[in-house]
Chains A and B, each alone.
Chain A
């Protein structure tokens, strides 16, 4: 039973436009959410995170929004750049249960110039 779901396997966006990657979760005990970016043959690299007490966190071109009532979060990239082309993983943790991350299956973002 997948606790973190990324229902869109892929997303294609033109350079300069907004990219919106979505993530849904089922476990209401999750209290911390992260986005990781992964290039081929490399490990995932941390991008941005948000605590469950917030509904928005911004870092440069990247913003994560959290809707707890809908158990939904999204990552916005504005403006998108070709170098953003990668696999994006949504991850969550329940710090009362432990610190390991539960990952979604990932969304492959392609940004064309």
Chain B
């Protein structure tokens, strides 16, 4: 079974530029999460999708971050414009259903550096 795929793996941009990350979850997984992991911290939820609907985006900085999952499968996360404090690893995770009793499977992440 293929795991969660993410691209690119690494991205370096200058502040005020825009950037987009892509995630393809495990086939059949209805729930998709984007987490932000700043160096030295644990992952923090940005947004959660159930199929193509948003379940929780309370911690997403909506003035600069946006995310979509149009067909209920893969998802994109965009930052526009980027700030220095956005430097982090962006992790995508998926699971079969809504309950946390379903183990979340994580992708390898995209490491973003904002200069």
Contact = CB atoms under 8 A, between A and B. Distances in A.
Interface stretch (A14-22, A54-62, A77-85, A89-97): A89-97
Instruction: Give the most central of A4, A43, A101, A104: most B CB within 10 Å.
Output: A43
| Interface class of chain B by DSSP | loop
A91 B70 CA distance: 29
B105 A46 contact: yes
Contacts of B106: 36, 43-45
B104 interface: yes
Interface residues of B, number: 27
B89 to A, nearest CB: 9
B100 interface: yes
A1 interface: no
Nearest to B111: A41
Interface of B: 4, 31, 33, 40-45, 48, 55-56, 91, 93, 95, 98-109
